[in-house]
Every structure is written in structure tokens, then in C-alpha cells.
Structure 1
């Protein structure tokens, strides 16, 4: 079942598909990698995390298991339904990230899943403004970036330890520095596809985008630069 999709975004496969092409049942099955370890190593123990774009809780769950509190934000009620099942130290908020205004601030704000690479510049700006508006004084913003070769050397695939195959099939330029990316997720019992628009950002472009939102890079947390700890530029 597919809701009305946005231009350049599409998903196929079993279950509910969100307007940005994400399959809820797929996201509930995806494995978590080293993201929780990277996050936990960069923030205080037991911190309250504002997770922007939580999806079905792939990263939320291990953060809760590590003793963090999480406020999970997503615009999909179906995604948040999966997060609510985790119970405990999580609350959910349904909202587009770029429109979020909770009137409170958090020790940690997290923008993962390459959302900073939104093909729509106005959406990216809104997301980063939301990050800056919701981070407490002395707090930090954790951002996940695409790897340097994300849009190149295609098609490519990897077999996940969870027993499924992920293929990045193509990244086709559609103008203004944006690519339309097609991905496939092949499980033994089901296959999903997702098409979305993403804007590659050099390190300099990424840092400029942060600066525009009143943020600055404090530290690149991984050798490949895909995880960043940012703070207020004030």
C-alpha cells in the first residue's frame, strides 16, 4: 500500500510505503550496524536524545538498551507505531523535521540516515535549523553523512549480516546537483525497492550548510567522515 508519493520518491514491496518511498515493514527489519557504538562514544551516558527521522526505530532500540532516553520524531504514523512498541524511555512525536518546534532543548540532537543530503535545499535548511533550535547550550548535534563513493561505482551490493542483500542500483543526475538514487533490498521472503533524491555534498559544502544554520563541526567521529559531532557556532 502506497500513500501519495513526492516527486522523485517511490517505493515498492509489501506493506505500507511512506510518501518518501520508505517501506515500514522493511525499515522494521533492517539491521543496525555500528551506529549505536559511534553515538554512545560521542555523548554523555544516559543523555536525552532527540532523534530526528527515527523511522521504525532501527537505531532507537539499541540506544534505549544502552540507557539513553529518546524522543523520536518522524512524519509517518506507521513508522512511529513501530517505535512506540519499544516502550520504556521513548516518546514519539509526529512531524516533518523541518517544521518541528517542540519548545524544548536536548543534550543531543541526532540527524542520521543521510537526511542532511536531502535533494531539496529548503528541506535541508529546515532540518538543520531544527537541529540548532532544539540543541541545549553545551549540547551537540550528531549528523550522519554519505560516504565519499555513495553515488559512484554503481551498481554495487553487499550482503548484510542479517541475511539480506542491499543493492545501490543507480544514481542518475536530475539537475541542480541532485541525483535520483534507486536501492533494492532483497530478503529470502520479500523484496523492496526505494527511489529517492539526494544531493552529494563535499566536506566544504557540508560545513558551509552547517554554518548557515548556526552550527560548526567540532569533530569528525569516524575515519571516513560519515559521522560528525557539531555544536553551536555562537
Structure 2
């Protein structure tokens, strides 16, 4: 697969087209994502996870009784997923010809620097959500692009650092992240477009979605529903 423009990763092991290191994501711990999703989703819901990676969120959801279909473009990522149906392919071209109770678009994918790609990602969400279902979207925090450099030490003993944010084109920044372990360092450089709440909601509206409610105090997790079916 061809590396995406403006995306690059360094470090040992396989690197995906968007610069993600497979071995790195096997080491990263999951945050509060499973709790947020489980609190919003109906018991036993069928969840379509777009961009599952190695299954950091997938596996806790399965343990909570959800039926997960995990989609990723990287075969190396999907090889690490256990207990879920897996589909290899790009999110923007996905058409499973079935619908799900919950469609999950996490990992700040809605902030892609490419406006057309963002529209295609949201179209894929709408295409796969069932009547009465909803889409869960993870947004960037308010100061994601401005509170730089910043870092945090994970309880497991490694450092996650946002080292730099540099403008590269109108409304798009190049972000360099570093993951420093005692034995190895990985980096990822990628492009992202910061979105105000108004811009985010406008993008949803263009795709036929609307905010039902913000799920977290920091408003980074959003429940969105189809406009024509709400």
C-alpha cells in the first residue's frame, strides 16, 4: 500500500500507509474509549469499528458482549485482532451492504487534512448505520494543536510526546508524535485539520448526520444520528 502524502512513521516493524507502527499499537494501552462506547451502545449491539488497528478497543468491546466487525486497511494490524469479524479495506470505499446498530469512527479520523476524504469517511458511516442506530465519533481536544510541545508518561512506563505542530497548507497542520519506550522509539508524522465545534457540526450536516449529544465533558466523543432518520 502506498504511503499517504504527509504521513510517515519510523521505528521497527511494519508501518501502515498513514504512518502507524503495528508493533507500537500492540504496546499501547487502551484509554477510556471502551467505557464511553459501552455506556452509549445498547446491550449486545452490533458495532462496525472503522479503523480498528490491532484491536485495542475491539477486544474490550467483545469482552463486554458486543458483536464487532473490525475494519482496517492493514493486514498486519488485523492479524492481531481476536474474536471479531475482520474486513480488510479502506474505510472510504467500504460497502458491506449491511447496517449496524453502532458505527464507530474513533482515533480522530474525522480530522483528516483531506476534506474530500473526510466526506467519504462520514459517507461510509451513514451508509452502514441501521435505522434507529447511531454513529460514535471521536474528536480532537480543544487545545490539541496549540498545547505543543506536550507529553505524558503512561502508567506502563513509556512517554507519549506531541513534539511539533506545523502548518503545511490552508487549515492543515503536520503533527509529529513520538513514543519513547525504554528499549525503542517510534515516531509518526501525519496531517490533521483542526475543527471548531461549528465546523465539525457543519461537516456532519454535509454528510447527512447531526449531533444527537456530546458524550463527554470535554466534548471529544459525539453521538451522531442520520438527519433523515432522526
State TM-score, norm by structure 2.
0.97
Q: Give the structure 2 partner of residue 82 of structure 1.
A: 80
Tell me, which stretches of 5 or more residues in structure 1 are unaligned?
none
Question: Equivalents in 1 of 2:39, 2:91: separation in Å?
Answer: 25
Q: Give the structure 2 partner of residue 213 of structure 1.
A: 207
SS in 2 for 1:49: strand
Question: Equivalents in 1 of 2:153, 2:187: separation in Å?
Answer: 16
The aligned runs of 1:166-177 (5 Å cut-off) are 166-177=160-171
2:104 pairs with 103, 110, 113, which one? 110
The aligned runs of 1:1-234 (5 Å cut-off) are 4-83=2-81, 86-87=82-83, 90-234=84-228
Question: Equivalents in 2 of 1:51, 1:162: separation in Å?
Answer: 26
Structure 1 stretches of 4+ moved >6 Å: none
Per-residue CA deviations over 1:138-157 (Å, capped at 9, x if unaligned) read: 00100000000001121100
Per-residue CA deviations over 1:92-125 (Å, capped at 9, x if unaligned) read: 0011111000000000000000000001111100
SS in 2 for 1:216: strand
Question: Equivalents in 2 of 1:197, 1:190: separation in Å?
Answer: 24
SS in 2 for 1:41: helix
- Residues paired across the two proteins, number: 228
Root-mean-square deviation over aligned CA pairs: 0.8
Question: Equivalents in 1 of 2:167, 2:197: separation in Å?
Answer: 20
1:162 offset after TM fit, Å?
Answer: 2.3
SS in 1 for 2:3: coil
Question: Equivalents in 2 of 1:191, 1:126: separation in Å?
Answer: 33
SS in 2 for 1:82: coil
State TM-score, norm by structure 1.
0.96
Question: Equivalents in 2 of 1:153, 1:35: separation in Å?
Answer: 22
